[in-house]
Chain A
Amino acid sequence: MGMFKINLNKKSKANFNNDFEEFYKITQVINSSLDLKTTLKTVSESIANITNASYCYIFLKSGEDEVSCAYRYGKKLIFREQYNISTSYHTKKIFKTGKPIVTSNFENYRHYGEEVIDFFKKENICCTLYLPIIKEKKVLGYMWILRKAECSTDIDIKRIMLFVNQMATAISNSQLHHKIDINRSRWKSIFKDSSSGMIITDPSFKILFINKAFETIIDKKSRLLIGINIEEMFVNEKDRLFLEKGLRQNKKTKVFNKELLLEAKNSVIWTSMRVSKSINSADEERYIFSFEDITSKQEFEKDKNEFVSIISHELRNPLTSIKGYLNLIEKKEIGSMNKKQQAFFKKIEDSAERMTELVENLLDVNKINTGKMRLNLSPVSIGKIFKKVSSDLSRALSQKNLKIQLDKDERVYVYGDDIRLYQVFYNLLDNAIKYSFPDGKIKVGYKNEDEHALFYIKDNGVGISPLEQKKLFTKFSRIENIFSVSSGGTGLGLYIVKNLVLAHNGAIWIESKHGKGATFNVKLPLAKQLSLVK
């Protein structure tokens, strides 16, 4: 490129100091600014200064076959903002060769339109320079310099190309930066415009960012919330505890889901919350919370619960009547039934009993779902409760010729609700009977251990697979029973049992091996004061 030395005014005197100053300025800008506009402006101004140019344009590749004017030094001209590379003579040439082009004697150039040539004449433009902007052998675009005839500085293309090459680096850097910036703003807009309410906090749960959707959900402006601790918006104490215990101290889990109440402007809102831990590009720990307003879903749940409650209560009266009259029919004073009537009577009685069980189970589940399960706690003897359970189930036991093998400690007193604990042990023994092979043994044991009472009941059935164990305590789960086509249960029993045990601050778990039966273990808090034992 050194050969392009043009002495246009025959007054050759290189202004080394000026060059050096401009070069220094450019380097400074390039090092300190990633903004393309600033870089182009500084470089154009510098080059215009040292070349004494009247106009300076920078065209950058903006498409497969397109260059666009990225910066203009000097007043706006009639020239186009964009050119096709393949159809514009000089543009095509510069992209093809990557070498500078000097043009003069415009009358002879058919490549410029009349308007351009008129302009050159009017402005007294004597020559133009096309300087390729090249980075890593790729032409990014070019600089077009227009000089007036009267300007007296010599230009040395090799010298100018030093500036242009600096610019190439800056352009490629800032284009890269621009790409990153676009990506970042894309992510930012995902956060900003997401239909989920989103919050980002620091590790102490101090709110750093809030998006529009979250403002809408709780009807509060973000300026009121930024800087506060997110837990201040949580209505319930246990949700606040979750942040510390469930979230911060939990190193294993990455994503958390929870339904909770948030305090909104004039109300409380049910939300489904999702939290994930994240490390940002500056290596800082962040929590990303997203919230969905599920108030309407919760209201539907509430309606559903009320519906179940009303229906169940309404069923209780006719059931009382059915069971009551069945009870009367059995009395000898009413008269006697023949064998067939007695058999049919038994079927009605069984059905009424099953229906009662279903209604009572639904009411219990309803109570669990609505948080209305209340316990009347007092010190109670497990032995006494279990004795009643086994005597009430003695008929079922003898029907399958099952024996209970008891491993007991008489003095096991727990702090519990005797009626509910009866229900727990009744369900467990009833299940053990249903799933045991006939003529076998059911092992039952209870003892004190530290602060707890341990109770177990082991059947001699086929066992419960790990998959079934997972489903066992959920609503409407039933395990295939090899002894009867229909187990006749509601699938609610163990769900209720689990929740009753939990309501007692206890725990329940299963141990089972295929073919070796299943053991249900229950842990309950011991009674401390025994003076009130029931």
Chain B
Amino acid sequence: MKKILLIEDDKNLIEMYETAFELEGFEVEKALNGDEGLKVLAKKEKPDIILLDILMPGMNGFSFLKEVKKKKTLKSIPVLLLTNLGESTIDMNRELAFVLGIEGYLIKAKNNPDQVIARIKNILKNK
């Protein structure tokens, strides 16, 4: 069973994505911000993919990404940005994000869970 680490601070969205992913047969681990995400990653069993929000209280998505990509054991895990932040902000940070090594990004409001799942499957297939 493939495992997703969902780093997201909106509780409604967490439950929604968790339900949708589980229906598709994924195992879901949750974290409310970057710090919690790093704690989850410190465990022995690593996720197959990380879905990462950007704006969160505590450690934000970009800081989390930098930390992950520094660590040999973690940097190969694909990261998909899942955010409602303005595209212009993402555009500005796009280069940084791709340098840091993301697989892509999705605007949450523009993609329903099915579309997010399709993208996840695509990334895992090419891995």
Query: Which residues of A are interface residues toward B (Cβ below 8 A)?
Result: 309, 313, 316-321, 323-328, 331, 333, 356, 359-360, 363, 367, 372-374, 376
B104 at the interface (CB under 8 A from A): no
Given contacts A321-B16, A324-B17, A327-B113, contact A313 B108 (CB under 8 A): no
When distances are taken between beta carbons in the complex, the residues of chain B under 8 Å from A309 are 86
**A-facing residues in B80-127 (Cβ within 8 Å):** 84-88, 91, 107-110, 112-114
Given contacts A327-B114, A328-B16, A333-B23, contact A320 B109 (CB under 8 A): yes
A316, A323, A363: the one contacting B112 at CB < 8 Å is A323
When distances are taken between beta carbons in the complex, the residues of chain A under 8 Å from B13 are 317, 320-321, 324
Q: How far is the CA of A360 from the CA of B111 in the complex (A)?
A: 12
B63 at the interface (CB under 8 A from A): no
- Nearest chain B residue, comparing its CB with the CB of A374: B91
Task: Tell me if A317 and B10 are in contact (CB < 8 A).
Answer: yes
In the complex, 11 of the A-B residue pairs with CB atoms within 8 angstroms, ordered by the A residue number, are: A316-B107, A320-B84, A320-B108, A324-B20, A324-B112, A326-B112, A327-B114, A328-B19, A331-B23, A367-B88, A373-B88
Task: Tell me if B12 and A327 are in contact (CB < 8 A).
Answer: no
B17, B19, B109: the one contacting A319 at CB < 8 Å is B109
Interface centre among A313, A319, A327, A373 (most CB of B within 10 A): A327
When distances are taken between beta carbons in the complex, the residues of chain A under 8 Å from B19 are 328
Given contacts A317-B84, A372-B88, contact A327 B110 (CB under 8 A): no
CB distance from A193 to the nearest CB of B (A): 45
Query: Which residues of B are interface residues toward A (Cβ below 8 A)?
Result: 10, 12-13, 16-17, 19-20, 23, 84-88, 91, 107-110, 112-114
When distances are taken between beta carbons in the complex, the residues of chain B under 8 Å from A327 are 20, 112-114
CB distance from B118 to the nearest CB of A (A): 12
Q: How far is the CA of A309 from the CA of B87 in the complex (A)?
A: 11
CB distance from A375 to the nearest CB of B (A): 9
When distances are taken between beta carbons in the complex, the residues of chain A under 8 Å from B112 are 323-324, 326-327
Given contacts A323-B109, A359-B109, contact A316 B16 (CB under 8 A): no
- Nearest chain B residue, comparing its CB with the CB of A333: B23
Q: How far is the CA of A372 from the CA of B90 in the complex (A)?
A: 12
CB distance from B29 to the nearest CB of A (A): 19
When distances are taken between beta carbons in the complex, the residues of chain A under 8 Å from B17 are 324
Task: Tell me if B85 and A313 are in contact (CB < 8 A).
Answer: yes
Q: How far is the CA of A319 from the CA of B110 in the complex (A)?
A: 9
Q: Which 4 A-B pairs have the closest CB atoms?
A: A316-B84, A316-B109, A324-B16, A320-B108
Given contacts A327-B113, A356-B109, A356-B110, contact A321 B88 (CB under 8 A): no
When distances are taken between beta carbons in the complex, the residues of chain B under 8 Å from A373 are 88
Q: How far is the CA of A250 from the CA of B13 in the complex (A)?
A: 57
Give 4 A-B pairs besides A309-B86, A324-B112, A328-B23 with Cβ atoms closer than 8 angstroms: A313-B86, A367-B87, A367-B88, A373-B88
Task: Tell me if A321 and B10 are in contact (CB < 8 A).
Answer: yes
Interface centre among A319, A320, A331, A363 (most CB of B within 10 A): A320
CB distance from B10 to the nearest CB of A (A): 6
CB distance from B8 to the nearest CB of A (A): 10
When distances are taken between beta carbons in the complex, the residues of chain B under 8 Å from A317 are 10, 13, 84, 108-109
Task: Tell me if B113 and A363 are in contact (CB < 8 A).
Answer: no
- Nearest chain A residue, comparing its CB with the CB of B19: A328
Q: How far is the CA of A333 from the CA of B113 in the complex (A)?
A: 15
A360, A367, A372: the one contacting B109 at CB < 8 Å is A360
Q: How far is the CA of A316 from the CA of B85 in the complex (A)?
A: 9
Q: How far is the CA of A356 from the CA of B20 in the complex (A)?
A: 21
- Nearest chain A residue, comparing its CB with the CB of B20: A328
Q: How far is the CA of A221 from the CA of B76 in the complex (A)?
A: 63
Task: Tell me if A325 and B84 are in contact (CB < 8 A).
Answer: no
A316, A326, A331: the one contacting B108 at CB < 8 Å is A316
